[in-house]
Amino acid sequence: MKAWLPAAVAAALVALPALAGIGSSVAVAAGTGAPSAQCAPGVPVGPDGENFYNPPSPLPRGTHGDVIWARRVEAPGHALACRILYLSTLHDGKPVATSGLVVWPTGPVPRGGRNVVAWAHGTVGGPRQCAPSAAPNPARNLVDYFTYKSPFPLDVGVPALTKFLAAGDVVASTDYQGLGTPGVHQYVVAATEEHNVLDSVIAARRIQAIHAGNRLAVLGWSQGGGAAMFIGQDIHRYSPELNLVGVAGLAPAADLGPQFAGKVLPGPRNASSRAHNAALRVNVYRGFLAAYPELHATDVLKPAGLEALKGDGVACIEHFADVIQGNVADDHKLNTLFKPLREVPDNWAKRLHENTPGYATTVAPVLVMQGTADTVINPHSTAQYVKRACTFSRPVEFTTYQGATHNTIPFDAQKEYVPWIAARFAGTKAPSNC
């Protein structure tokens, strides 16, 4: 099989050292002094390298959340971590293999098992090599991509990971279908993402050594924030055994329908935001085309946009946005990519609407955090989602962070969402400012 990670990139990633300040817990194979790949007793050991992400064909029989295989990776001190490959489903129920990461503390296990925080990451792009768990030592606190300290070509890590571990929580993180594993990533197709997130939690629960209980909080950012909001609406249908105590969204992609209908006031912009948002728009179209066979690319994209659509399957999001900037945005020709929104057929509008959260009630309290200087997720669109969510008389807390950007919000809001999640696990009444 042709490698999906370019050789030069793979070599660079393998050579990267662990970031300073992160401890490690790695099991040692008895009598060898070498690290053990075994994740936990009874769990099959997956292949090393990129072959980890190539599932058996045909897929093994089982139910969603079953672990196909796992492999130990370095973890912060007093914790253990594994890459996992597990069964999940697409929006239409079709079985699919999905990869991810699970990290858990080594301390005492509380009665009823450990609480679980599910991390739903933000947009990294469309190709397989963009999977966050495929990075070296992915079990780390989120690395700020837009700093000189980041050696990675995409966002890697989980925000506040070590804080959740210190609280005794298990952290489960999906890559989403099509990132890492084969297939076209169904970007912002809500049910697919929801299934992938919830099945990462179920997979953690099926690894007995983790002692994961059924109490769950979801933390999502951008793409993952929209997925988190849908989980609050739909968890009882898909995973009734899980007890969702709260969903927290960092600049959530939660207003697709109104955005694509041109019903949102303009938001902040910078020199690169138009090209970046064009890259996101192509990513949305690619994900929907993969999920819904009645949709056609030529209904929404011009010939130059069809070429860009191919590139969305090659480059991770920041690289892809840079290419769009250089190819068309610098020459003020972004309009050569897309058909006007007023010409988008009703079948596209219908699918965008049904993948927009906030039109059905959530079963758990909601926390939404939004930066006022965000050029990726329009603050006005987030406010529109909150307005819808508040109509269902559930606790909804909406906090804006003055001057925070899309990339800084996971760090700027950490002092809010970490204690908020802890309070939901403690059973205290959720705040609301609807």
Tens-place pLDDT, residues 190-217? 999 999 999 999 999 999 999 999 999 9
Secondary structure percentages of the chain, helix, strand, coil, to 5: 35, 20, 45
d(CA 199, CA 68): 12
The whole-angstrom separation of Cα 276 and Cα 64 is: 34
Q: Which of 155, 154, 224, 220 is nearest to 188 (CA)?
A: 224
Q: Tokens 């040692």 map to which residue?
A: 28
Quick check: helix, strand or coil at residue 416? helix
Name beta bridge partners: 220: 120, 249
Do residues 84 and 70 make contact, with C-beta atoms less than 8 angstroms apart?
yes
369 pairs with which residues across the strands?
A: 250, 399
Separation of alpha carbons 230 and 254, rounded Å: 9
Residues sharing a CB contact under 8 Å with residue 314, sequence separation 6 or more, in sequence order: 127, 320
DSSP state of 358: S
- pLDDT of 34 strictly over 60: no
Nearest Cα to 117, choosing from 128, 98, 99, 102?
A: 102
pLDDT, one tens digit per residue, over 282-292 is 999 999 999 99
Tell me the per-residue pLDDT of 313-322, one tens digit each, with 9 for 90 and over.
999 999 999 9
Residue 387, C-beta contacts closer than 8 angstroms, at least 6 positions apart: none
Beta pairing, strands 243-250 & 212-221: parallel
Q: What percent of the chain has pLDDT over 70?
A: 92
Q: What percent of the chain stands above pLDDT 90?
A: 89
Integer Cα distance of 100 and 258 in angstroms: 31
Buried b (16+ CB within 10 A) or exposed e, 330-346: eeeebeebbbeeeebee
Amino acid at position 55, single letter:
P
Task: List Cα–Cα distances, 163 to 107, 141, 169, 343, 419, in angstroms.
Answer: 14, 9, 9, 48, 10
Mean pLDDT of 21-36: 45
Q: What angle do CA 218, 222, 228 make, to 5 degrees?
A: 25
Q: Is the pLDDT of residue 26 over 90?
A: no
Please state whether the predicted TM-score (pTM) of the whole model is above 0.75. Answer: yes
In the block, tokens 């279908």 appear at: 177
pLDDT greater than 90 at residue 308: yes
Task: Give the whole-angstrom CA distance, residue 200 versus residue 2.
Answer: 27
